[in-house]
Structure 1
Amino acid sequence: MNYVLIIHEVADYSTWKKQFDQAVSIRKEAGEISFQVLQFHHEPNKVVHFSHWEDVEKAKSFFNSPEVKQIRLDAGVKTPEFNYLNLIDSGIL
């Protein structure tokens, strides 16, 4: 399975979330299957976007596209850290 973990600070969470929600259709078209959004406990403008993708290369192309780069600028994203991951184990305890 292919996952993307993005950690970034945003100028304002509600502004970022609005842009994030508006991009749902293009994320789905690009191959995003599911996602989770998390905030750092004491830093509400530090956001984690964890998502499952059909293909890591599709995800990389999507996140590097000029359209998505502009969406990040409009959303107030500060220096995102992208991590492309493969699942090697999981479980429910």
Structure 2
Amino acid sequence: MQYVLIIHEVEDYPAWKIIFDNAAQIRKEAGEISYQLLKFENDANNIVHFSRWDSLQNAKNFFESEALVEIRKQAGVKAPKFVYLNEIENGNL
């Protein structure tokens, strides 16, 4: 499996979340399979978006597209950090 970890601060989480939810279909069409949203313990505007993708190339194409750069600006995203990951193992305890 391929994953993307994005860590970013947003200006206003509720406003960002509306834009994130409205982009669900374009994320799915781009190859996102599933996602988790997490927030820093003491800061609701520091968000971690962890998602599973059908390929890392599709994820890179999506996240680096001019359209998504503009969407991030509209959503108030500040300096996102993208980490592209390949799974080597998983398990349940």
Fold shared, TM-score > 0.5 on shorter chain: yes
Q: Which residue of 2 aligns with 1:31?
A: 31
1:41-80 deviation line (CA, Å, top 9, x unaligned): 1011000000000000010000011111111000000000
Give the TM-score normalised by the residue count of structure 2.
Answer: 0.98
Q: Which residue of 2 aligns with 1:18?
A: 18
Q: Which residue of 2 aligns with 1:62?
A: 62
Q: Which residue of 1 aligns with 2:84?
A: 84
Report deviation, 1:86. Answer: 0.5
C-alpha separation in 1, matches of 2:24 and 2:87:
23
C-alpha separation in 2, matches of 1:81 and 1:29:
22
Report deviation, 1:89. Answer: 1.1
User: Over aligned residues, Cα RMSD in angstroms?
Assistant: 0.5
Give the TM-score normalised by the residue count of structure 1.
Answer: 0.98
C-alpha separation in 2, matches of 1:92 and 1:31:
25
Aligned residue for 1:38, secondary structure, equals: strand
Q: Which runs of 5+ in 2 are unaligned?
A: none
Counting aligned pairs with the same residue, the percent is 57
Letter in 1 for 2:32: E
Q: Which runs of 5+ in 1 are unaligned?
A: none
C-alpha separation in 1, matches of 2:91 and 2:42:
28
1:13-42 deviation line (CA, Å, top 9, x unaligned): 001101100000000000000000000010
Letter in 2 for 1:37: L
Structure 1 segments of 4 or more deviating over 2 A?
none
